[in-house]
Chains A and B, each alone.
Chain A
Amino acid sequence: MTSKKQLQLAYGLAIGLFIVGVVCYAYTAFSAKPLDQPIRLMYKVAAGNVLFDHQTHADESGYGLSCADCHHHPEEDEEANQACGNCHVIPSEAEPVPKTCLDCHEADEIEDAIPMKRSDAFHKQCGNCHAEIEAGPLEKECNSCHVR
Chain B
Amino acid sequence: MDKAKKFIVSHAPFWHNGNSVNERYYHIMIAALPAVLLGIKQYGIPAVGVVALSVSSAILWELAMNYLTHRPITIADGNAALIGLLFAMAVPATMPWWAVLTGTFICVVIGKHIFGGIGSNAFNPVVLAVAMVMVSWKDLFDFDGALLNYDLDMVMAYPLAAVKHFGVGAIESFSTADLLLGRQSGGIGATFGLGLILGGIYLIIRGFIRWEISVSFLLGVFLTAWIFNLAAPDRFAGPTFHLLTGYTLIGAFFLATEDSSSPVNFIPMLIYGAAGGVLTVLIRNIGAHVDGVVYAILTINLVNPLLDKIRPKAVGKVV
* Residues of A participating in the B interface, judged by any CB pair closer than 8 Å: 1-3, 6-7, 9-11, 13-18, 20-25, 27-28, 35, 38-42, 49, 51, 55, 143-144, 147-148
Contact = CB atoms under 8 A, between A and B. Distances in A.
B144 A42 contact: yes
Nearest to A54: B148
A62 B54 CA distance: 38
Nearest to A144: B166
A137 to B, nearest CB: 9
Contacts of A27: 45, 49
Contact of A24 (B22, B52, B148): B52
A17 B55 contact: yes
Interface stretch (B150-158, B212-220, B270-278, B299-307): B150-158
A28 B46 contact: yes
A13 to B, nearest CB: 6
A25 B145 CA distance: 19
A66 B36 CA distance: 39
B306 to A, nearest CB: 34
A2 B52 CA distance: 23
A10 B75 contact: yes
Nearest to A51: B144
Contact of B81 (A3, A10, A23, A144): A10
Grouping DSSP codes into helix (H, G, I), strand (E, B) and loop, the B interface class, with mixed when no group exceeds half, is helix
Contacts of A148: 165
Nearest to A9: B76
B178 interface: no
Interface string B134-157: 000000001011001111000011
A39 B149 contact: yes
Interface residues of B, number: 39
B63 interface: yes
Interface in B196-218: none
B56 A42 contact: no
B59 A39 contact: no
Nearest to B151: A39
Contacts of B49: 20-21, 23-25, 27-28
A21 B148 contact: no
Interface string B80-113: 1100000000000000010010000000000000
B53 A22 contact: yes
Given A28-B45, A40-B156, A42-B145, A2 B55 contact: no
B77 interface: yes
